Amino acid sequence: MPDALLGEFDVIRLFADLAAPSHPWVRQGIGDDCAVLDLGGERCLLVTKDLLCEGVHFLRGTTTPRQLGWKSLAVNVSDIAAMGGRPLAAFLGLGLDAAEPAFTVGFRDGFLACARAHGIDLLGGDTVRVPRDSVISVTLLGEVARGELVRRAGARAGDAIALGGPVGLSAAGLWLLSAGAQPLDPARRETLVRAHLEPQPQVALGRWIAGRGVATAMIDVSDGLLQDLGHLCAAAGLGARILADALPAPDALAAAAALPGAPTASDWALAGGEDYVLLFTVPPERTAELIEGARRDLGLALTVVGAM
C-alpha cells in the first residue's frame, strides 16, 4: 500500500488511465499478469515484474536468504504461468542495505536454483546500496505461442471455476511464522511454512491448459482467492459463486486452523494470498475431461470450486 489515501489499485489506475499503449504490437498492457508483445511470428513475448520489500514482503528473521532468492523469482514465474507461457530470461534489481556475503550468496543460490528449475537465464539487472530495508525487483521475460495465450478476460457465464492446487497454506505458514511456538505436528508446520517461503509456480499446468485451449480466463492466486477471482470477474463483467465446501482442505490447513487464536481455514483459503496456484475458468462441459487429463498427464488434482 504505497500511500495512506490511495490503495494499490488506485495508484495503478492513475498510471493506466494516461498510459494507453501506442505501439500496434502491444497485445496486452497494464491489467493482466504479464504484458504481451506480439512482434510477429508464431510467438508472443511476455513481460512481468514483481517487487519484494523487506518488512513488507519478507523479514530476515523468518526466511533464509536462499528461500528469499527462490521466492523472488518464483513469484514472477507464476505470472508467466498464468498466461500459459514459458519463462525465458530474468533481470534482477537489488537494493541491498548491507551486502553481507552470506546473505548475498544464499540469495544467489536460491535465485539460481529457481532459474535452473525453470530454464531461465539471468541476463542483467542493477545493484545499489540502500541505507536500510532491502528491496528486490525482478523482471521476467517469457514466451507463449500466439494461439495459446490465456488472459484474465474471457470467462463466460456458467463457466466452472477451477484451482490448480490448495489455497490458504501460504497464509497459514505466514501466521505460524509470526505466532511463535505452536503445538503443531512438525511435518504439517513444515508443509505450511514451505508453502509460504518456497512457492512452486505451476508452469507445467499453465502450459498444459494453454496447449489444450480449454481455459477461457486464467490468473495466479497472489492476492488471495477472492481478490484474484474478483479480477477475473471484473474483466468479464460477471459475478461468481464459490462453494466454500468445495475448496481443497489439506490436513495441515485444518490442523493449523484448530490452534488457539488462529483464523479459520476458510479465511486463509479465501483471503490468504501468496499461494501461486493457478485459478482458471472452463466451459462446464469440459471440466470432467480436464480433471481426468490433469491427473493422467501431470499427476495433479484440479478442483472445481464454483461457477461464473
Q: Which residues bind ligand ADP (CB under 6 A)?
A: 12, 15, 30-33, 50, 79, 222-223
- The cell for 131 is 541505507
| Binding characters for Mg ion, 55-84, by CB under 5 A (x = yes) | ------------------------x-----
Toward Mg ion, which CB reaches closer, 33 or 198?
33
Which of 69, 273 has the CB closer to Mg ion? Answer: 273
Q: How near is the Cβ of 269 to ligand ADP at its closest, in Å?
A: 18
| CB-nearer residue toward ligand ADP: 6 or 99 | 6
Q: How far is CA 256 from CA 61, 172, 266, in A?
A: 21, 7, 12
Span 7-26, contacts to Mg ion by CB under 5 A: none
Rounded distance between C-alpha atoms, residue 266 and residue 280, angstroms? 19
Sequence-distant (6+) residues with CB within 8 A of 50 are 72, 75, 76, 79, 137, 138
Does residue 223 bind Mg ion (CB under 5 A)?
no
Minimum distance from CB of 286 to ligand ADP (Å)? Answer: 25
Does 275 sit near Mg ion (CB under 5 A)?
A: no
What does 15 bind: Mg ion, ligand ADP, none (CB cut-off 5 to 8 Å by kind)? ligand ADP
- If contact means CB under 5 to 8 A according to the sort of partner, which of Mg ion, ligand ADP, none does residue 51 touch? none
What is the nearest approach in angstroms of Mg ion to the Cβ of residue 86?
Answer: 16
The burial of 142, by beta-carbon neighbours within 10 Å (0-12 exposed, 13-18 middle, 19 or more buried), is given as buried
220 binds Mg ion, rule: CB under 5 A: yes
Q: How far is the CB of 220 from ligand ADP (least distance, A)?
A: 6
Q: Which CA distances in Å does 180 have to 56, 183, 189? A: 19, 10, 12
Q: Which is nearer to ligand ADP, 170 or 287 (CB)?
A: 170
Residue nearest to Mg ion (CB): 33
State the binding partner of 135 from ligand ADP, Mg ion, none, CB within 5 to 8 A by kind.
none
**What's the closest the beta carbon of residue 274 comes to ligand ADP, in angstroms?**
10
- Rule CB under 5 A: choose which of 33, 54, 148, 159 binds Mg ion: 33
Smallest distance, ligand ADP to C-beta of residue 1, A: 12
